[in-house]
Amino acid sequence: MDASSFIKKYANHPNYFAPVGSKLNAKSWQTEAPLRMLLNNLNEEVAEDPSNLVVYGGSGQAARDTDSVKKIIELLLELDNNESLLVQSGKPVGKVRTHEQAPRVLIANSNLVPAWSTWEHFEKLKSDGLMMFGQMTAGSWIYIGTQGILQGTYETFVSCAKRHFNNSLYGKLLVSGGLGGMGGAQPLAATMSGATFLGADIDPSRIEKRLATKYIDKMTFSYDEARDWILDAKKKKKNISVGLVSDIGDLLEKLLEDNIIPDILTDQTSAHDPVHGYIPNGLSLSEANNLRIKDPVQYKELSLKSMARHVSFMLKMKSLGSITFDYGNNLREFAKQGGEKNAFHFNGFVPEYIRPLFCEGKGPFRWVALSGNSDDIYVTDKALIDAFPENKNMIRWLEKARKKVKFQGLPSRICWLGMGEREKAGLIFNDLVKSGKISAPIVIGRDHLDCGSVASPYRETEGMLDGSDAVSDWPLLNLMSNTAGGATWVSFHHGGGVGMGYSQHAGMVILVDGTKRAESCIKRVLHNDPALGIIRHSDAGYDKANNNLKKFNLDI
Ligand code: NAD
């Protein structure tokens, strides 16, 4: 098929989908893989808003504009295995000479010189057509729909249950805001861990999407109805989830009036972007859309004030006993800017629940079946259960995921694996492809919410023992290690999760195609990537990471 027929079939804006099966369209699987994953990121089953090329996380895009998508496709269809494509904030800008074991695509998204790294400057560049916001896995072509965040959210809730609720969330009420691409994982993660869930989203279409994918059980526009449902469920210890169409601040205010204090309280509205993400209290969706175009300065002011109000209710609930944590959207910083001076009086989820996992090199390891065949994922699930019989947590998750998770786009799976485990899993998958037990190659990647590839002082690196929260040499070292190691595509981003000026982070994806070349790349990349997490945390003084440094012979 020539490029223009291919584009007509698979990238007829806004209808994108990845080719499936084992037949190549590009010259090799090394280029077919990024091609399928770019198209998969934009598939309407996966992306929040394909018509604007937005994948998730507020305005996180997979490519800068439709011409860029077409050009990337054309280039990937023709690229040889001794070349690498350069993508600058979603636009293809050149090819460089490399070699067979080098990455086929080198991506840089939304990076700005530090003194210019504000949303205002970024927006100017964006409106001049010079940049896009890549979020984390949107611009690095390894977003897998809401499942991607589901397991991390589940791990967080389970860890919270262990710490505060004697290991059980049955009969406990978990309240949160935001049911978008990432936040939409909360209801299912909550019910999977036993809790009753109530979430607010101002946009009904977001809750409808969660209903359609079975991530949420019920939806209503009425506060009274939502309240009655959850009180009844809590009493009967029934783990149901309810989505209420409402501003989150309004929901918390009403719950306080009714003296309903959640056991666990968090938030995943798109607070990281006060102009294009968070919706100010009191505005309808269309009023918000109009105002952000007409007067972004006033919009931002209203947004910051609303976040201050929202966080003031969270603080009140915390003082009344709710276990309260920030869920990685920079809500506290913007609430502080909006006038809530105690906004940082609750912690982020990483220092609370995730850092011990980072000290083991753990993070959201994920893989996708390029064949489009769900059975390929079930084969990998079984292979992991057989390979890690001691990892009861992982087995419990894989069994639950098989029953509960509806695939979006190409079938995929996620589970948190650490040092040693990732390399072992990668090599097992490579053998399964080689022996034909999996019908086509797979790709392995990860989120940037990760142990060794992120500098984000209000999230992944909040409260580091040695105060090195803002040191971004680490994600650069991660990028360089994965490039030198032979990942199939690598990326370096700015602003993901928490917004412009607040984070820098690196991504990687590696092709598993059953070849010797893949085997040697896997042995390097899936060793180096988690190793960076252990090295980074050991350098910051964490004992657990120090022990792992010795255990895995990483000390120098
Ligand atoms: P999204 O844009 O897909 O969804 C955000 C949702 O918040 C939207 O549905 C929007 O309608 C809703 N919303 C905005 N203002 C609201 C208000 N005042 N009241 C009620 N609802 C409101 O974003 P997402 O992908 O779900 O990400 C959510 C946030 O989490 C982002 O800030 C993102 O950067 C951050 N994030 C968190 C993690 C994590 O691991 N916890 C990872 C990546 C990103």
pLDDT recorded at residue 250:
98
Whole-angstrom distance, CA of residue 81 vs CA of residue 93: 18
pLDDT grade, residue 252 (50/70/90)?
very high
The verdict on the CB of residue 340 being under 6 Å from ligand 1 is: no
pLDDT grade, residue 237 (50/70/90)?
very high
Give the containing element (helix H, strand E) for 504.
strand 504-512
pLDDT recorded at residue 213:
86
Instruction: Compare 419 and 352 and report the one with higher pLDDT.
Output: 419
Mean pLDDT of 201-210: 96
Are 328 and 457 in contact by the 8 Å Cβ rule? The answer is no
Are 216 and 286 in contact by the 8 Å Cβ rule? The answer is no
pLDDT recorded at residue 393:
77
Q: What is the mean pLDDT of the chain?
A: 96
pLDDT recorded at residue 473:
98
Among 124-138, 143-157, 498-512, the least confident range: 143-157
Token pair of 17 as six digits: 């989908």
The verdict on the CB of residue 145 being under 6 Å from ligand 1 is: no
Which atom of ligand 1 has the smallest separation from the CA of 281? 18
Give the containing element (helix H, strand E) for 41.
helix 29-42
Peptide bond into 14 cis (omega under 30): yes
The verdict on the CB of residue 527 being under 6 Å from ligand 1 is: no
From 35, 45, 33, 105, select the one nearest 70 (Cα to Cα): 35
The pLDDT of residue 196 is above 90: yes
pLDDT, one tens digit per residue, over 402-449 is 988 889 999 999 998 999 999 999 999 999 999 999 999 999 999 998
Give the rounded percent of residues in the chain with a pLDDT score beyond 90.
92
β pairing state of 241-245 and 323-324: unpaired
The secondary structure of residue 350, as a DSSP letter, is I
Largest CA distance in the chain: 65
pLDDT, one tens digit per residue, over 458-503 is 999 999 999 999 999 999 999 999 999 999 999 999 999 999 999 9
Whole-angstrom distance, CA of residue 109 vs CA of residue 89: 4
Each domain of the chain, given as residue ranges in start order, spans 147-346, 355-551
Token pair of 268 as six digits: 């995943």
The pLDDT of residue 91 is above 80: yes
Whole-angstrom distance, CA of residue 427 vs CA of residue 297: 52
Beta bridge partners of 264: 174, 323
Residue closest by Cα to atom 4 of ligand 1: 180
Query: So which residues are the catalytic ones?
Result: 415
β pairing state of 504-512 and 489-494: antiparallel
The verdict on the CB of residue 149 being under 6 Å from ligand 1 is: yes
Residue closest by Cα to atom 34 of ligand 1: 497
Give the containing element (helix H, strand E) for 483.
helix 473-485
Length of the chain: 556
pLDDT recorded at residue 159:
86
Instruction: Compare 242 and 400 and report the one with higher pLDDT.
Output: 242
Question: What's the CA-to-centroid distance between 393 and ligand 1, angstroms?
Answer: 27
pLDDT, one tens digit per residue, over 357-410 is 999 999 889 999 999 999 999 999 999 999 999 988 789 889 989 988 889 999
The verdict on the CB of residue 270 being under 6 Å from ligand 1 is: yes
What is the CATH number assigned to the segment(s) 147-346?
3.40.50.10730
Whole-Å CA distances, 368 to 20, 35, 49, 119, 509: 12, 13, 21, 33, 10
The verdict on the CB of residue 181 being under 6 Å from ligand 1 is: yes
Question: Best mutation site among 146, 205, 215, 270 for ligand 1, i.e. most ligand atoms within 8 A of its Cβ?
Answer: 270
pLDDT recorded at residue 496:
96
544: number of Cβ within 10 Å: 16
Token pair of 301 as six digits: 């002011």
Residue closest by Cα to atom 43 of ligand 1: 497
pLDDT, one tens digit per residue, over 293-351 is 999 999 999 999 999 999 999 999 999 999 999 999 999 999 999 999 999 999 999 99
State the pTM of this model.
Answer: 0.89
Are 177 and 314 in contact by the 8 Å Cβ rule? The answer is no
pLDDT recorded at residue 411:
98
Give rounded-to-5 percent helix, strand, coil for the chain. Answer: 45, 15, 40
The pLDDT of residue 29 is above 80: yes
Residue closest by Cα to atom 2 of ligand 1: 58
Domain 355-551, CATH among 3.40.920.10, 3.30.1490.480, 3.40.1770.10, 3.40.50.300: 3.40.1770.10
The pLDDT of residue 148 is above 90: no
Question: What's the CA-to-centroid distance between 184 and ligand 1, angstroms?
Answer: 9
